[in-house]
Every structure is written in C-alpha cells, then in structure tokens.
Amino acid sequence: MKTSRRKFLTSGALAAGAATLAAPARAQSTIKWRLQTYAGPALGEHVIKPAIDAFNEMAGGQMEIELYYADQLVPTGELFRAMQKGTIDAVQSDDDSMASPTEVTVFGGYFPFALRYSLDVPALFNSYGLDEIWKEEYAKVGVKHISAGSWDPCNFATKKPVNSLADLRGLRIFTFPTAGRFLSRFGVVPVTLPWEDVEVALQTGELDGIAWSGITEDYTVGWADVTSYFLTNNISGAWIGHFFANMDRWNEVPPHLQTMLKVAFDSSHYYRQHWYWAGEARLRVEETKLQLTSIDDAEWATVEAEAAKFWDEIASESPVKAKVVEIIKKYNDTMHKAGKPYRFS
C-alpha cells in the first residue's frame, strides 16, 4: 500500500509538472497591445482612459493595453497605416481623421446632416446594417472594425460672432476632411493641423475658429479659453467614431478577451453618449466663456438643402457609398415620419 501510494504521488507530481511545462506560452505571458487615440490627454481622460483602465483590470494580467494619446506614436493622419502594418495594434478614431483608404471613410466623423441625435448612430449601425458594411470594408484591408459609437455634435466655436452664412466666408477653420469639403461651399477655409497645435493656432491668429466638436469638448480641452463665440446651429448632431484593430493581432487574442474588449469599448461609447448629452445643454446654460450665436432657421435651411446635394454627389462615387447613402436616407425618412420625439421638423 505504501509503495503504491508513493508511486501514485510521484507519478502525479510528475504529471502535474509536465502539464505546466506543456502549457502554451501565450497562457504564461501577458498579451500587450499599443492603442493610440485621436484625442489629446485632457479629452482622453473622458473618452478612452476609463475604458482602458477597466479592461486592464478585468483582464487580470492576461492582456494589457498601453494607451497613447493624439500624435504620441504617429500623427493622427497616419494612424490607419500604422495599425494596418502592425506598428500599433489598435486605434480609437473616426475613419476620416485617420485617412482610412476605404469606401466608407467619408461617412466617419461628421457626414453633414445625416445624424440629428446621438442615438442615431447605434440605431444605424445595429438596426440598419451599417455595422456589417464597415466590418466587410475593413476586413478587405486587414483591419478589424470592432465597434462604432456616437460622440458629440459638430458646432462652430469662433473668435468672431457668426450670425449669418455671410459671416462664415473666409474663416480659417480647423475641422475634419469631409466636414471641410462640405463647409467650403459656404466660403469656409478648412485648415489641417495636429490636434495639439490647435489652441496655439487660435491664439496666434492662424485659425479663426474650429468646427471639430460640441461645446463639451470646447470647455474640456481649453478651446473655450481661446475662442469667444459658439454657434448653436450644427452640421451634425453626432460624430461617428470607432475602435479598430490590426486583424492579425485581433485573431491572436483568445475569444474571451475579444469579448472583454468589445464590452470595454462599448462602455466607452456609452459614457460619451450621456457625457456629451448632459454637457452640451449644461454648458450652454451655466457657463459664460462662450457667447451663444445663431443663424436664422430659414437661412440655415439652405445649408441643409445643400447637404442633400452633397449626399447625392457622394453616392455617385461608388456602389458602396450609394448603399450607405440610401440607408441614411431611409433612416431619416423613417425618423421624420415617426415624428416627435424622433424628429421635430
């Protein structure tokens, strides 16, 4: 009995040791990703850091994401290429800012007047088929589209008051590529700069204003300190932003960690939705750094009419773009027919 027991204990210990030695290297080491966001540090404290901190805690040492802010590793305009090549593993950005070479890039960021409210984005992606289109288009170029979320509206913050369309003419405005392409129809001069240089450019006069965000970001990142006026009319009620990853790196991650990544990133989208929704109203009412101005509804209607022409021009560029525009048109038509509270006009 003693001999048999000794043999059992010995063989059992050897077997356990062998199992440990045979365990995959991946299980014995931490998967590390480098993720860069389009946002600077002040904004990043809200729009990405809480989600990354939560994921790293939940992952319990199995995986760790190193977070980098705007332009820290590569310029924002090179984010896509860096991710595609594997120089960085993941990105938080809109398609437009990171110069994505896909058919859907023009719709990222602010596609003029496609979205009235923040809920329009998850509705379009989860109920109207945009998520499938984005995943398919990015898979073609070796990138995993993880998720899309709704962020803030696109308003002007300027150094001079804007009370009519004529006041926009000649203004040098920091904005997104597609938004700039549209706004140039009204005499706006789009300017591209590194995100971190915007505040200084407003102080030196290189810029006359920005059309990059809503009022929440203006106050959060310091732009409210170097501009004087906020135009309540916007060209979009919500920004479309995403999380992406290099496809090979994504496929190396075990399924349970992929699920945790999705949950963490969805928590970031959700936070932004209520943070902006509350902030946009509160800051207009309670803060006084920025004086509110407005363009008359009848005059602003001409901008909305021009957006409809812009949609058709974009749709004519490719079948994929035409499909997305058709979905956006159908969605907005449904919202208008549904009436209040979906649409008020």
pLDDT digits (tens, 9 = 90+) for 204-243: 999 999 999 999 999 999 999 999 999 999 999 999 999 9
Q: How do residues 147-199 score in pLDDT, each as one tens digit?
A: 999 989 999 999 999 999 999 999 999 999 999 999 999 999 999 998 889 99
Q: Which of 13-17, 240-244, 315-319 is predicted with the least confidence, judged by mean pLDDT?
A: 13-17
Q: Do residue 178 and residue 93 come from a single domain?
A: no
Please check whether residues 162 and 181 belong to one and the same domain.
Answer: yes
| CATH for 191 | 3.40.190.170
Q: Is 3 a domain residue?
A: no
Q: pLDDT tens digits for 276-286?
A: 999 999 999 99
Same domain, 295 and 271: no
Task: Give me the number of domains the chain comprises.
Answer: 2
Whole-prediction pTM: 0.89
pLDDT of residue 48: 96
Query: Are 229 and 267 within one domain?
Result: no
Alpha helical stretches, state H, 197-318: 198-204, 215-221, 247-252, 255-286, 297-315
Residue 299 lies in a domain: yes
Q: How far apart are CA 154 and CA 211, in angstroms?
A: 6
pLDDT in the model for residue 19: 40
Closest CA to 145 of 133, 161, 157, 158: 133
Residue 151: per-residue pLDDT: 87
- Residues 203, 292 within the same domain: yes
Instruction: Please tell me the predicted confidence (pLDDT) of residue 189.
Output: 98
- Domain housing 248: 30-150+239-279
Q: Which amino acid is at 22?
A: A
The dihedral through the CA atoms of 266, 210, 307, 300 has a sign that is positive
